[in-house]
Amino acid sequence: MKKARQPPSLAAGIGAAPEIFYPGRDTVCSEAFSRFLTEYHANLDAFFFVVKLVARADENRVRAAEALLPSASTEEDRQRYEKSIADKGLILRGLQKHATVQSQNLTNGAVNSFQRYFSSIIQIAANKRPSLMISSQHIRVDDVFRFTRHKDLVSFIIDRKVNDLSYGGLSEMERYFDERLGIKMFESEEQRNLLRLFIEARNINVHNGGIVNELFMTRVGNVDGYVYTKGKRLHIDMDQLVALSENAMRVALSIDGLVTSKFRLRRQSHRAWRGEKPQ
């Protein structure tokens, strides 16, 4: 494992960002986890790209003012150039005004990737062992007759179950991993609490404009280091986002190792899944 390169100072009113945990390209994993890593990294890269553009715009603005200052023809021009030189973070502050939106976008993108991974790894395991889908769920007769092959019917049942799990929340997902796959999703209560907070933060961003409501408070409860108030907009700063993302990444990485081993799923390096040559 490795840490991602140190990103630039981030525009969210949050100061310099810490290094971000990111499993290396030689990490051996399932195809589902490889897709998750690609999505996760793309989400971060898109944000860092914007921050770099803003930082570069500020640098170029200051350089231009420094170059023009010696030839200033009026006192007004001289003062304007000096002010521009002294204010090195002018454009960055403009980006900082959108801190909450940036935080929501990063949170939503990361959580969506995590949830797609969890659904995918269940689906892969169930395709390998369809008996995992046996339950008391009812299937409409007309749905059954839509398929002429048993394989297609099984795929339909798996898809529907995975979809139900994705809407059932973290508790339902954890119960399925425990009871059907025989795998513990979490190594500690802290892991569970942080992932629940992360998922519920995404849910209120999408469904309630980021405003903390009673449902959020009930599901999340108290989590050390995180403060939120009913009726107020939730803001996750960069340090918190890194901590939540790292926790979710470690949970997913642990699950991937356990599921692929137990069900003998295909594994290879993330680099190989991406079609990259070994280094």
Q: Rounded CA gap, 128 and 108, in Å?
A: 30
Residue 138 confidence (pLDDT): 61
**Phi and psi of 21, rounded to 5°?**
-65, 130
End-to-end CA distance of the chain: 16
pTM attached to this predicted model: 0.81
- pLDDT mean over 132-153: 66
pLDDT per residue over 220-278, tens digit each?
999 999 999 999 999 998 889 989 999 999 999 999 999 999 999 999 999 999 998 77
**DSSP assignment letter at 135:** S
Judge whether residue 206 has pLDDT over 80. yes
Residue 143 confidence (pLDDT): 66
Residue 141 confidence (pLDDT): 63
Q: Rounded CA gap, 56 and 59, in Å?
A: 5
pLDDT per residue over 63-104, tens digit each?
999 999 999 999 999 999 999 999 999 999 998 888 889 999
From 18-22, 52-56, 151-155, 213-217, the region with the lowest mean pLDDT: 18-22
Residue 20 confidence (pLDDT): 66
Mean pLDDT of the chain: 85
